[in-house]
């Protein structure tokens, strides 16, 4: 495949920190245009809407979406209907139904759709998956704690309906675990702590299980002082596997394991090109389904008002 011409929608923190460096660092891509209402991306054609980019801008074969999930569904539909391959930052949409619609539309249009569960591309995830293959699982424990003021400062959309609150980072952990475990997970109990002045939770506790009774617990906290904790511990009959730093480090029975060097987003964009080359999509819904089920089945408690 020659250079893949790419448009980018949204130029906020995640686009600036992760997407653009990964795109520019991959010689297989050519970033042709960015649509954003904020400051333009240096050296790239600027448009204020996806509609303008598609109608007036340079030809692009694919579009990456880095906007908030609320309202994203209509934008991605527009790109799909224009015949573009799409990469959609997590969480892909504000609802499970919207995400399901995009999967079906991409299939009907015959184009690639990638839901960017970037944490699945952390260096430890694939080695962990290989080690777990064929082993008998006993339990899984997720601990995902960070400070929203540090990682998402001033982003009001996260606290609004559809923004998912603490599940914005927590869904990264769910995307890792659903990759590592062989069977689907189901919510058995959930507790969501929602600040008095917001619509989305700042903390959550989940209980999950697969059809064979393997229990999975998750504790998410978005008002946690440093150091950050991004940990998954999986107990098997043959030993204990532990991922730290969101999948950047892997331990088997407390012994550190060697890992490949490639970072998440470069791996993600390499995967996107491979999908396009083979005419495939990768739009797994399980992480978003678990969040949707937690909102549906969870018990809500009121937390103190949160001010950024």
DSSP result, 41-95 = PTTSEEESSHHHHHHHS---SEEEE-S-STTHHHHHHHHHHTT-EEEEESS--SS
pLDDT in tens, 43-83: 999 999 999 999 999 999 999 999 999 999 999 999 999 99
C-beta separation of 7 from 32 below 8 A: yes
Angstrom distances, CA of residue 199 to CA of 95, 114, 190: 15, 28, 17
Q: Read off the pLDDT of residues 238-275 as tens digits, 9 standing for 90 and up.
A: 999 999 999 999 999 999 999 998 899 999 999 999 99
For the structural domain made of 120-260+291-303, what CATH number should be given? 3.30.360.10
pTM: 0.95
**Where along the chain do the CATH 3.30.360.10 domains lie?**
120-260+291-303
> What stretch(es) of the chain map to CATH 3.40.50.720?
4-119+265-279
Sign of the alpha-carbon dihedral angle for 19, 285, 143, 233: negative
What's 4-119+265-279's CATH class?
alpha beta
Which pLDDT score, from 0 to 100, does residue 154 have?
87
Q: Cβ distance 28 to 51 under 8 Å?
A: no
Check pLDDT > 90 for residue 142: yes
Asked if pLDDT for residue 1 goes beyond 80, the answer is no
Active site residues: 90
DSSP state of 118: G
């Amino acid at each position: 495949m020659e250079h893949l011409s790419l448009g980018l929608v949204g130029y906020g923190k995640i686009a600036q920190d992760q997407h653009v460096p990964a795109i520019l660092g991959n010689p297989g891509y050519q970033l042709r245009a960015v649509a954003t209402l904020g400051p333009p991306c240096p050296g790239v054609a600027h448009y204020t809407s996806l509609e303008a980019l598609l109608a007036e801008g340079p030809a692009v074969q694919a579009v990456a979406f880095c906007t908030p999930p609320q309202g994203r569904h209509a934008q991605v539909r527009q790109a799909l209907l224009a015949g573009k391959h799409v990469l959609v930052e997590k969480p892909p949409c504000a609802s499970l139904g919207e995400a399901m619609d995009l999967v079906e539309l991409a299939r009907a249009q015959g184009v690639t759709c990638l839901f960017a569960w970037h944490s699945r591309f952390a260096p430890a995830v694939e080695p962990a998956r290989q080690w777990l293959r064929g082993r008998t699982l006993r339990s899984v424990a997720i601990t995902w704690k960070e400070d929203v003021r540090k990682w998402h400062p001033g982003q009001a959309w996260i606290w609004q309906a559809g923004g998912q609150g603490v599940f914005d980072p927590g869904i990264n952990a769910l995307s890792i675990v659903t990759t590592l475990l062989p069977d689907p997970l189901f919510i058995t109990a959930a507790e969501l702590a929602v600040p008095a002045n917001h619509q989305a939770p700042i903390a959550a506790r989940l209980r999950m299980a697969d059809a064979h009774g393997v229990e999975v617990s998750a504790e998410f906290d978005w008002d946690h002082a440093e150091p950050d904790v991004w940990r998954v511990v999986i107990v098997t009959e043959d030993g204990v596997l532990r991922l730290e730093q969101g999948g950047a480090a892997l331990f088997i029975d407390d012994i550190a394991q060697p890992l490949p060097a490639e970072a998440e987003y470069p791996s993600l964009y390499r995967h996107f090109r491979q999908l396009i080359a083979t005419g495939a999509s990768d739009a797994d819904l399980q992480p978003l389904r678990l969040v949707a089920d937690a909102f549906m089945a969870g018990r809500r408690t009121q937390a103190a008002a949160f001010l950024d």
